[in-house]
């Protein structure tokens, strides 16, 4: 069966990448396969996870590029060279330009640790999202998988899952619960859904 090749862009520990690798092994993702993992940090643990799963890896460092356009064109040539048709941002800590996102229109997905449109956009990443949710006093948070466009966290929503905020939560405990109960579940499901659509529309 033909599968959509997936490129995963990472910067850190790669827990969402691991969720995708596990989903591929367990048969949740059947319409796609991870062909390449690209990091913008050379010591990202996500690269070790990829190597352990025998997935090709590459590193593109911003400081080794003249500007952001060279940085993005190096990433594009790696993605296109590997024949990847879907890009998953899994904790990729670099904002992509409109040139990049429009080149791969409806082919880039991201997981964000809140229920968009709450606590999203410029400056909302990592623990900051959960700090803001707790400061606001929300009783429900969660995660959102969305298409990526030129507006940070502004693309069309693919899937969302709500997670209860508990009394006494810290940003760290809330982050962990949202990862386990939402991010690691809906990212693989969304990935499969998008890959399936790509195959059906060929």
Active site residues: 112
> Which residues make beta-bridge pairs with 145?
111, 159
β strands within the chain, DSSP E: 4-10, 32-39, 56-59, 86-90, 108-112, 140-147, 157-164
For residue 95, CA distances in Å to 40, 113, 151, 166 come to 12, 16, 9, 31
What phi, psi does 114 have (nearest 5°)? -155, 170
d(CA 189, CA 161): 11
| Cβ–Cβ under 8 Å, residues 20 and 109 | no
| Cβ–Cβ under 8 Å, residues 181 and 72 | no
């Amino acid at each position: 069966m033909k599968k959509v090749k997936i490129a995963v862009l990472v910067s850190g520990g790669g827990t969402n990448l691991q969720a995708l690798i596990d989903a591929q092994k367990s048969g949740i993702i059947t319409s796609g396969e991870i062909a390449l993992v690209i990091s913008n940090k050379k010591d990202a643990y996500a690269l070790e996870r990829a190597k352990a799963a025998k997935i090709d890896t590459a590193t593109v460092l911003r400081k080794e590029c003249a500007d952001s356009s060279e940085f993005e064109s190096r990433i594009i040539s790696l993605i296109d060279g590997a024949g990847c048709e879907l890009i998953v941002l899994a904790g990729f800590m670099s904002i992509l330009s409109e040139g990049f996102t429009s080149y791969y229109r409806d082919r880039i997905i991201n997981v964000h640790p809140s229920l968009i449109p709450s606590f999203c956009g410029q400056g909302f990443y990592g623990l900051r999202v959960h700090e803001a949710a707790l400061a606001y006093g929300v009783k429900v948070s969660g995660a959102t998988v969305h298409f990526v466009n030129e507006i940070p966290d502004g693309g069309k929503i693919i899937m969302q899952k709500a997670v209860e905020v508990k009394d006494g939560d810290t940003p760290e405990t809330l982050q962990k619960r949202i990862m386990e109960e939402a991010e690691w579940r809906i990212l693989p499901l969304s990935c499969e859904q998008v890959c399936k659509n790509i195959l059906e529309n060929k």
